[in-house]
Amino acid sequence: MSELNLILLGPPGAGKGTQAERLVADFDVPYYATGDILRAAVKEESELGTEAKEYMDRGDLVPDDVICRVVVERIDRPEARDGFVLDGFPRTIPQAEELATAIERLGRHLTAVLLIAAPDEEVIRRLSGRRVCKENGHVYHLDFDPPKNEGFCDQDGSPLIQRDDDKEETVKHRLDVFHDQTKPLVDFYEKQGLLRRFDGTRAPDEVNGHIRATLATLRLEEEL
């Protein structure tokens, strides 16, 4: 079977992480979320974490060279031989160019860029109600996707917390950063014929159904 090399693109809170969990369960490929990687580094107080923390707390992007190194190393791992799902990367044109160079060097190609779209008001509503599991980052929403036991993760029982950058002012700044620096990637990938759009305001399972149908079609086309 052909490789499945995917990018999840979209504003903060569009549901990239939510869809990634479902995609990984469906396709058994490794999932690299740069936000999760950076938050783990901050927790460990590693050199990467120390460098990234001040940018993340403000809702700004960490410098391109820092994050590119992290991702390029991962897609070259044996576990990613049959594919990968990238979430939160690339987020700027220089990052996308660096990724293209790395993928070409490995003799591979991107399968698709999945754009999950959601308007700003919806993003603010979602992120203010988002809660994440302290241990493994599983994602919930107080109203739209509540856990069975209030305050605790359904999957591993650990406490649910609010992310530091989910406070309303920081969310608004993250949205500005998205419109300024990340949105140009929509055009960038559309021109390459890689972009597929999904309505992120639909229910999570419905969005997942649309993504699965699109990927099934792409794979059929590749096999022809």
Put the strands of the sheet holding 31-33 in their side by side order: 31-33, 83-87, 4-9, 112-117, 195-199
Give whichever of 205 and 221 is closer to ligand AP5, judged by the CB atom. Answer: 205
69 annotated active-site: no
Backbone angles phi, psi at 109, to 5 degrees: -145, 160
219 annotated active-site: no
CA atoms within 13 Å, Cβ hemisphere of 105: 10
Shortest reach from residue 2's CB to ligand AP5, in Å = 26
The rounded distance, in Å, linking the Cα atoms of 195 and 201 is 18
Stretch that binds ligand AP5, among 14-22, 99-107, 150-158, 214-222 (CB under 6 A): 14-22
The rounded distance, in Å, linking the Cα atoms of 92 and 219 is 28
Contact call for residues 90 and 96 (beta carbons, < 8 A): yes
Q: Are strands 4-9 and 83-87 parallel, antiparallel or unpaired?
A: parallel
Stretch that binds ligand AP5, among 13-21, 106-114, 146-154, 186-194 (CB under 6 A): 13-21
Q: What is the total residue count of the chain?
A: 224
Is 115 a binding residue for ligand AP5 by CB under 6 A? The answer is no
Give whichever of 37 and 221 is closer to ligand AP5, judged by the CB atom. Answer: 37
Q: What is the DSSP letter of 152?
A: B
Of the candidate residues 32, 84, 89, 189, the single one contacting ligand AP5 (CB under 6 A)? 89
Of the candidate residues 34, 85, 208, 211, the single one contacting ligand AP5 (CB under 6 A)? 34
CA distances from 98 to 31, 72, 103, 109, 201 (A): 19, 9, 9, 13, 31
105 annotated active-site: no
Stretch that binds ligand AP5, among 43-51, 57-65, 104-112, 216-224 (CB under 6 A): 57-65
191 annotated active-site: no
The rounded distance, in Å, linking the Cα atoms of 38 and 125 is 24
Of the candidate residues 4, 5, 10, 160, the single one contacting ligand AP5 (CB under 6 A)? 10
Is 174 a binding residue for ligand AP5 by CB under 6 A? The answer is yes
Q: Which candidate in 39, 126, 130, 196 is catalytic?
A: 130
Active site residues: 16, 91, 130, 163, 174
Give me the residues that bind ligand AP5 (CB under 6 A), please: 10, 12-18, 34-35, 38, 55-56, 59-62, 67, 88-89, 91, 95, 126, 129-130, 139-141, 144-145, 165, 174, 200, 202-204, 207
